[in-house]
Amino acid sequence: MSAAGVKCFSYTPVMNIFEMPLFIGNNSSIVWAIIGFVVAFLSALLLVLIFGFNESNTEKLFAKVTSGKKSLTEKKTAKLGLNVKDEAAASTATEEAEHPAVNVSDLNLAETVYSPVAGNPVPLSQVDDPVFSSGAMGSGVGVLPSEGTCVSPVDGEITVAFPTGHAYGIKSDNGVEVLIHIGINTVELKGKHFDPKIETGAKVKKGDLLTTFEPDKIKEAGYDPTTMVIVTNTNNYEAVVPELDQDAAMNQPLIQVYSK
């Protein structure tokens, strides 16, 4: 459409076939606009026909958002009539498949990410948020906090500090990018029950205070306070290994990041 000189004469945040009149005007071709729309639709259709549609991955990302609807897997499980014991065994098998033992003997330790909060670590796949549990944001750990203090897990720079105090991005001095997200959907609290202590661009050392928060009041407000610690540039490394054997204390190793 651009190569054919098509022009849009008014801004619209949503583009669909009902917005076609916006392309009508001097030195613009509505015909080429229509052709562009058709090509876009057919290209998308053709790519799906060629490469397929991954129902499983899409389900993890979108099926269990706050609507409370059951995911496709839950519906299929219900149809199979699996009992609680079977589900527990299936969950264990899934966890072992998602987190197989990693041989790091030939790898170099690139970074140790320490726990930013004290609490009980849980596998990321068990976090009740499909965006995190699917691994779409990267590998990491969930921690159910036992107290309301969050500190920097590495030496580095604050790349993102949400003014609401619920999430922080940190790039370590060794290049590992860490996301700390306190609670699930807690952005909706608009900063209530959080007291942020640091801003974007600040240099931090491991253990420096990022924010304080009130886990009990977050629960009372209807939100899960589980804190996600994610290595967002996971694909840059050979292995990202969570430490899940014991309760986490602040400044205790939580994730080991390995390179070749």
Catalytic residue numbers, as ranges: 181
Q: How far apart are CA 227 and CA 231, in angstroms?
A: 13
Q: How far apart are CA 170 and CA 38, in angstroms?
A: 43
Q: How far apart are CA 19 and CA 10, in angstroms?
A: 10
Q: How far apart are CA 111 and CA 109, in angstroms?
A: 6
Q: How far is CA 151 from the centre of its chain?
A: 20
Beta bridge partners of 114: 253
Q: What are phi and psi of 200, to 5 degrees?
A: -60, 135
The first and second tokens of residue 119, run together, are 């609490």
Q: How far apart are CA 115 and CA 81, in angstroms?
A: 39
What's the 3-state SS for 177-239? EEEEEECCCHHHHCCCCEEECCCCCCEECCCCEEEEECHHHHHHCCCCCCEEEEECCHHHCCE
C-alpha closest to that of 115 among 226, 207, 212: 207
C-alpha closest to that of 178 among 128, 101, 233: 233
Q: How far apart are CA 259 and CA 109, in angstroms?
A: 6
Q: How far apart are CA 145 and CA 194, in angstroms?
A: 14
